[in-house]
Homo-oligomer: A and B are copies of this chain.
């Protein structure tokens, strides 16, 4: 059985270091677990300082807990962790999350202590996550066994070696209608780690794509082997922190990670079909891409816009990513002619000029979606502050066309710096869609889509 089940789907949890003091991390975890009323799970709070917390009875020691315990979350100071581990072994728990920091990320003594903990736990069939992590979350179960906010719900299985990167990504994901099915922060990554997590997420029906922020990989060969089996099934997005000498030195202080050559790693990750990102901005762009967009059938891009400059800036990135524009067919031009003013040049990118509104966006987007020579549609847009236009009308027109055609082709909305209009966020929430605000992100997103299309096509060729 995959040990991840004890972490993501525990039948019972004990929090050692639970506290009512809102200024302590033990309180943050306790609150996060108790607050979710959906959670079906026995909860035991262990502390010597309170009789009860939020009306929930506390136990002084783990040994006093009446039932079995699947998962223990440890929040006591580092110097007491080893004592607590012994209690866990006695209690025959299945999994332990050590949130406490102050181990391998600090010095060699810390490294030895965490290794000793792992050794002891392994002997007793117990798996260890952390130390120096923020915990885990299972959104479907209503479980937030971490001290950070509950992730927005969605289809991303996220593994983050850094808790704060996870936390920051949640802020950003919230804004872009992205969300997690599962979240695991693995911290110093001493035992329970990528392999089991990835195998679990591969089978998890709520997870449609996987994103990984990593600073260290203990066994790259094994890691790549697991990924190779996973990428044909689900897109896997990765971001490596600690890419060069200074970055890696910093990562070593952060999660006790050791160096590995990033260029080789990136090439290897790419080869096994993952989507390695160079920056956290790209990481978010990749999550947007695979959360909402279907894969294209070909590589030809059609662009419509009300802003010539937006199309110019987008096209400036085509070469870098080896992207191709479609040439409009005579049939296509006939089809769109009634919907654009005579001033409009009927070439790709199609600049419909500033006066184009919902109707034009709907008609031209639909024409592109229906055109067999166009595989990918970019809807460029600067929200017009004139002619009494509704800021959301262009967006609505394009999405309506996308919905009518069954969302079969990737439709990328490039709403240049238009994210600050509250109505726009509302539409994208209601329509379950995301959008981009920067030409570079759109070009990169298309690159991701095409690479994944080619990767899967290639697999089908070699294993038909």
Contacts and interface: CB of A to CB of B under 8 A. Distances in A.
A440 B249 CA distance: 18
Interface of A: 22-25, 28, 78, 101-102, 105-106, 147-149, 160-165, 167-169, 171-172, 174-175, 213, 215, 241-247, 249-251, 253-255, 279-281, 306-313, 315-319, 325, 343, 345, 347, 349, 351, 353-355, 382-388, 416-418, 420, 438-440
Given A246-B318, A315-B246, A387-B24, A418 B308 contact: no
B162 A309 contact: yes
Contacts of A254: 308-309, 311-312, 351
A314 to B, nearest CB: 8
A417 B168 contact: yes
A164 B250 contact: no
Given A315-B246, A387-B24, A253 B168 contact: no
Given A25-B354, A168-B310, 14 more contacts: A106-B345, A149-B385, A162-B309, A165-B382, A167-B382, A241-B312, A244-B316, A247-B312, A247-B313, A253-B308, A254-B308, A254-B312, A280-B416, A280-B438
Nearest to A325: B246
Contacts of A242: 312, 315-316
B312 A343 contact: no
A253 B245 CA distance: 46
State the copy count for this chain. Answer: 2
A309 to B, nearest CB: 3
Contacts of A349: 250, 253
Contacts of A172: 417, 420
A387 B164 contact: no
A36 to B, nearest CB: 15
B279 A440 contact: yes
Contact of A28 (B168, B246, B318, B387): B387
Contacts of A165: 307, 309-310, 313, 382, 416
A388 B308 contact: no
Contacts of A315: 242, 244, 246-247, 249-250
Contact of A347 (B22, B213, B253): B253
A386 B25 contact: yes
B244 A319 contact: yes
A302 to B, nearest CB: 13
Contacts of A308: 105, 162, 164, 250-251, 253-255
26 contacts: A23-B387, A24-B387, A106-B343, A106-B345, A148-B386, A165-B310, A165-B313, A165-B382, A168-B307, A168-B382, A168-B417, A171-B383, A215-B312, A247-B318, A250-B308, A250-B311, A251-B308, A251-B312, A253-B308, A254-B308, A254-B311, A254-B312, A279-B317, A279-B438, A280-B313, A280-B438
A171 B161 CA distance: 35
B243 A162 contact: no
Nearest to A303: B250
Contacts of A438: 279-281
Nearest to A439: B280
A417 to B, nearest CB: 4
A401 B313 CA distance: 39
A300 to B, nearest CB: 13
A22, A317, A385, most chain B CB atoms within 10 A: A385
Nearest to A320: B244
A385 B167 contact: yes
Contacts of A345: 106, 253
Contact of A101 (B101, B102, B353): B353
Contacts of A325: 246
Closest 7 CB pairs of A and B: A254-B308, A162-B309, A164-B307, A165-B309, A149-B385, A28-B386, A172-B417
Given A167-B382, A244-B319, A312 B388 contact: no
A121 to B, nearest CB: 23
